[in-house]
Structure 1
């Protein structure tokens, strides 16, 4: 069974619902408790070694002081993932409460805020190099790592899952508001993130040598700070034998993050089987994938998506069903089929995080109330909504 690890970025907010630059202080608390790294400790790590995909669970800094990131331990089943996410969200919230704040699993800030860059050489270099793209970048994603045998299998997986990644975006949308206004998107994080020059869908690689040559060529341009800034929608880990899928907004509910994790592991296993069976990767150009990703971020599960098997628009529910069917044999083998299919059905029935945010705003008319509701759902204080 392939192992999985999950990283989630969380907003740090004050009791009123406004993001506050108390992430470093919360991490100081976590560090004293043996649960996290301070910004200074994190900055001394190897360049680009941001992930926690192969190490014990931990809380670490992110680009902005209004954020913290959690990383789970390596897990073998979805029940473990559930427990890990609940535990580390709880530890992040406890550390934030110690400095007068809370955490919220929101992929963007509904309320207006001035993002503050976390101290450290790497983050400061990014801010200087990329201007407003870095200075305004206050977004929170969910990154899922799945084990692979080696880089050859990993690249074969990357080539075969790329057409399905926009569907994952659609099922996890959780950023309809952007710094005080409705963005018109279900996931504006996905739009903002693509301002980075090295982000988005990649072309087919074919083999590990080509993948590593492309990464080296990107670094050689001296445009990005280091290889850790190769922000492909899915990439190989620099440190551990995993494929990292990076397209999702951080999910408001732990249950949805677990569903997403199950889908990602199912996609990786399905792709590896196809590769071993000699099934060619779908020859879809990245221009078409970028359009598919845009549509997914625009409407989430409420409109039509580009169907990965036809290239034509289809209802989101039909496209989600096609994804579940595509990975069903792999999910059956791990015992995840009922859990993941049920999780997808629940998302389609009750809505995504973006749907809930808009519902709270429509009912109350206060964006800060959206954040407060998100705190309750993120930390398990409330299960409905």
Structure 2
């Protein structure tokens, strides 16, 4: 919930390499829940965990809103294999630090078990948020994934945001990983999405005329009191305030790093494809805001295991059909960026095992408990399941 940071600043060498090949760089942020070593409830251990994180990783690991949460951010990468290696290392380092602090690191969208409401991290900004907005973020915390894709300039970024709007429910569905809350199944694949929408600036990115229009909206929203600063612009896609990137706030953090890499690669492929379309003069799709809201609701409800609203035909369709449509649409850019082979494999794996929400429910369906779900999540977050 803090201002976005996609790891360390991009090096001049990486920027020059990307520009020379007309390729886009990629970064990812993940938020995690810290849970008790034995019980499945959240535990306020972030300060102790950070104490155990080696100093060389300090720029990539930081606080989140609650003391039960922690966040990592990768350095920008050009190759998907490099991003995978960086995130695997960060997950392992922070999981190890959590265990040293008597906790477990869990990649899940919302606290699955009942427990006391978590206290805020002691930062002035967070206290200001609580004072103004009250208890809009209940329980033990909400954990998401944010992907940063480089853009040539901010005006190009604005046009990309306009073209992204109908695709973002697909990412939300594919990342669904919070069916449980307070020890029960909510009936939603992503209950975090429903909790998150209570904040006044959460929702689909509006149609934007220009970067000047974007800045005007940011100023007006701050003046209205709906957000303290630009870091609280919680649209599903936005321009990064700190980096020359489009930030796609795609949904729940995924338990499997493979799934995170799949969605990050598809996001880069989509931005690159949209930049090509924009260069060829393609207009942004005209999607009414109420239909976008309905599509995001359906994504949160069903995940990939049910129906999604096809915003081109305005009819429900099997979610996996739209996922495949996204893959087909961006395939040339996946190939150009060197991601096609890995993404094809990862698509097959996601199709075989389902979203995090589906896998949690499968454990419960085998007479498992919430504790069993959290045990599996902790192993998977570490890369052991």
Structure-1-length-normalised TM-score: 0.91
Tell me by how many angstroms 1:168 deviates.
0.5
Contact 1:202 1:286 survives alignment (8 Å): no
RMSD of aligned alpha carbons: 1.3
Match of 1:182 in 2: 185
CA contact (8 A) 2:111 2:139 kept: no
Q: What is the rounded CA distance, in whole Å, between the counterparts of 1:87 and 1:147 in structure 2?
A: 23
The answer to whether residue 348 in structure 2 is matched with residue 326 in structure 1 is no
Residue 348 of structure 1 corresponds to 351
- Partner of residue 304, structure 1: 307
1:90 — aligned with what?
92
Deviation, structure 1 residue 222: 2.1
- Aligned match for 2:293, one of 285, 290, 309: 290
SS at match of 2:366: helix
* 1:162-181 map, 5 Å: 162-181=165-184
Q: CA deviation at 1:137?
A: 6.6
| Alpha-carbon distance in 1 for matches of 2:74, 2:301 | 30
- 1:225 deviates by 1.6
Which of the residues 27, 30, 36 maps onto 2:50? 27
Q: Which residue of 2 aligns with 1:14?
A: 36
- For residue 219 of structure 1, the aligned residue among 207, 218, 222 is 222
Which deviations, in whole Å up to 9, do the C-alpha atoms of 1:77-115 show, x marking residues without a partner?
110111111100011112112211120111111111222
The alignment of Structure 1 onto Structure 2 pairs a total of residues equal to: 361
2:42–2:140 contact (8 Å) kept in structure 1: no
1:202 is displaced (CA, Å) by 2.0
- How much does 1:135 deviate? 4.0
Q: Which runs of 5+ in 2 are unaligned?
A: 1-22
Maintained 8 Å contact 2:110/2:140 = no
State how far apart, in whole Å, the 1-side matches of 2:294 and 2:36 are.
Answer: 37
Write the distance in 2 (CA, Å) between the matches of 1:122 and 1:73: 25
Cα deviation for residue 234 of structure 1 reads 0.2
| Residue 210, structure 1, aligned to residue 216, structure 2 | no
Distance 1:342 1:34, change over 3 A: closer
State the secondary structure of the residue aligned to 1:314: strand
Moved more, 373-382 or 306-315: 306-315
Which residue is 2:75 aligned to?
73
Question: What is the alpha-carbon distance in structure 1 between the residues aligned to residue 62 and residue 259 of structure 2?
Answer: 22
1:59 aligns with 2:61: yes
Q: TM-score, normalised by structure 2?
A: 0.91
